[in-house]
Structure 1
Amino acid sequence: METPSATLDRLRLEKAANPQPPNRTPERLHLREIAIEPAVFQVRADGLDMERVAEIAGNVSAPCLDEPIHLWWSGKRWIVIDGHHRLAAHKLAQERGGESRKVAVKAHPAMSLEEAIGAASLINAREKVAITREERGEAAWRLVCCGTGSIKDQAAWSGTSKSQISIMRGVFERERARRIPQGTLIDRGWDWARRRDRGEDRREFHPDMIETQAREWATKLGRMLGGQRMAKSPEALARALEIISPELPSNLIQTEAFWAALDGAGRALLLEVDSEDAGGLEGDIDVGF
């Protein structure tokens, strides 16, 4: 399963590849034209409540079925930022009735990814269906980690207090200063970050713990793919890592373990590439004055 931080990386690339809004802003769309990315935009920790979905789908006069589903333009897809239960209910009703459906939508084509995350938190915070304190905290923490909005904005969007946002920002800054990756802070969540900031979980990143985890992962990868198979297919392995997270290959190259594992020829090749890149940049840059 893709982590929230990996999903964010993928959506950023998707938006960067085509930052312009579409020519048409829809008011209704076929269900097949609507995508979901729950790892980023589903505020509720438990995901969809299928009993609620079935209840909505079974009541054709349910008022919420007429409410528009809020969508964000990712650069190539319309993605739900609010209305996951309504979308699922429409799909279930479509399956039962056998007819192709169009649904009302509220499109937000010009939003950045960060603005869409804020909008999703704000809309969900105002919904009638209760969101737990923990879920609000996680939504606020994600906004803080992504750097989305001011303290006032983040408090309003998530339904938490400005003082709580300030506390979260302090924790985030301290953990980043301790070299904890942004993606790790997003994926592990607020409770983990808070405990770690108090000193309760810092031992998790002790070198011995990293070595233990590395050996565990090596065993799992070996069982699934086989060491020789991976060694004979480095291109496929590199591409697989890129699919998991576009930043993963470059992050691996920057680790001490990766550098230590390279033989002399491999190190020389990386240094040669760095040298060529530096030379190319010097020749290509046009300062404009």
Structure 2
Amino acid sequence: MAKKTNKKVQRAPRGPRVTRADIVMPKDSGKTAAELKADSEKAKPTQGPVKRSLPRSAIYVAEEAFQWRGGPKQDRWERENHIYTLAKDLRNQKAPLTRLLVWQVGKRFYVIDGHHRLGAYDTAKWKKDIPVEVFTGTLDQARLRAIAGNVRDKLRMTPGQKSAAAWRITKENIGNLTADEVAEHTTISRRTAFAMKQVWKELNARTDLSDEQREKLPTITWKAARDLREGIEPDADFDADTWKEKKAEEVAELIRRHNAEIGLLADIEIAAMALRMLSERLPEALIEEWAGDYPELITELAARITNPPPDLEF
């Protein structure tokens, strides 16, 4: 009969925990779409088998070309929280995440879809090669694929970001898309997509624009374009959109600093009640403010309230 032993099973030591202080946002290369196009035209044709994994040093980020959410300050808390969650999964499971989708330019591979996953690898200090899928289409096709990934990603783009993306696609004529196709790629309304096409066409056809106005057309915002079309002169010393965005960032940062976002996001019903307690007028004002960004949802809710199912009472 074998003797029993009191030896304990030795477990592999765990690595250090991932904390929020460890969160790393991938560094941007600063490459623009125009620069990537020029680089790709100069690059030699690739040879050998298609890459299925890459060392971190070969993977680059080009925010201007492939990140449709805006700069790193846009949705910063949500983006960092998403990276944090993915990084914890990496540490706990010790298995790679879903493959990054990348576009090759010479020896560099630029992330099309998977910016947050790349941030998670950096945050978790991943040492192994990173699984990838190499996209073989054109730059325009890669950029449209990037927005498709952002629209359906778990961390969804806001309506404002989708609108900005649609306007950018329209201005740059990425993929030579029709208005219907722009709406399909960005999920904005067809009406807005057609309006963008019409406004952009009219502005470029106008002969009364000053040289300065014409020079600014490539970077003009959707709101500024509509104002220009209607003849509304902007204040040269004041950019309302920039001012509002800055103030909104200050309020968001104040909420984050006091960890209030945890309570707001934990239970939407309780959050709605809390906002009403701040001001009885606030819910109505928010609905009015967001109605233009969520027209389909507003229409659906109105229909649901007007004609509720038989088993649902309001």
TM bucket (normalised to shorter chain) is 0.5 to 0.7
1:172–1:63: structure 2 CA closer, same or farther, 3 Å change rule?
farther
Compute the displacement of 1:168 (Å): 0.8
Q: What residue number does 1:102 align with?
A: 129
The equivalent residue for 1:51 is: 81
| Off by >4 Å, runs of 4+ in structure 1 | 61-65, 179-183
Q: Does structure 2 conserve the Cα–Cα contact (< 8 Å) formed by 1:28 and 1:102? A: yes
- Please point out which of 78, 86, 103 is paired with 2:109: 78
Structure 2: unaligned runs, 5 residues or longer: 1-27, 237-314
CA distance in 1, matches of 2:166, 2:53: 31
Deviations 1:207-251 (A, max 9, x none): xxxxxxxxxxxxxxxxxxxxxxxxxxxxxxxxxxxxxxxxxxxxx
**How much is the aligned-residue C-alpha RMSD, in angstroms?**
3.0
Once the two structures are superposed, what CA deviation does each residue of 1:11-65 show, in whole Å capped at 9, x if it has no partner? 2211222374554421111111100011221121316522322232122257995
Matched, 1:27 2:55: no
Q: Secondary structure at the match of 1:100?
A: coil
Counterpart amino acid of 2:199?
Answer: V
Paired residues of 1:35 and 1:79 also in contact (CA < 8 A): yes
| Residue aligned with 1:58, SS | helix
Q: Which runs of 5+ in 1 are unaligned?
A: 205-289
SS in 2 for 1:53: helix
- Which residue of the other structure, out of 140, 145, 157, is the alignment partner of 1:119? 145
CA 1:198–1:62 in structure 2 vs 1: closer, same or farther (change >3 Å)? Answer: farther
The CA distance in 1 between the partners of 2:133 and 2:164, in whole Å, is 25
What secondary structure, in the 3-state scheme, does the structure 2 residue paired with 1:66 have?
Answer: coil
Contact 2:87 2:124 in 1 (8 A): yes
8 Å Cα contact 2:150/2:156 also seen in 1: no
2:163 aligns with one of 137, 141, 145: 137
Matched pairs, number: 196
Looking at structure 1, the residues matched to 191 and 94 of structure 2 have their Cα atoms a distance apart, in angstroms, of 37
TM-score by length of 1: 0.59
CA distance in 1, matches of 2:142, 2:83: 24
The amino acid across from 2:227 in the alignment is: R
Change (3 A) 1:173 1:80: same
> Greater Rg, structure 1 or structure 2?
2
Percentage identity across aligned positions?
23
Indicate the residue corresponding to 1:192 in structure 2: 224
State the Cα distance separating 1:176 from its structure 2 match: 2.0
Aligned residue for 1:128, secondary structure, equals coil
Distance 1:203 1:27 in 2: 52
* TM-score, normalisation: structure 2: 0.55
User: 1:125: Cα distance to partner?
Assistant: 0.9
Matched, 1:88 2:115: no
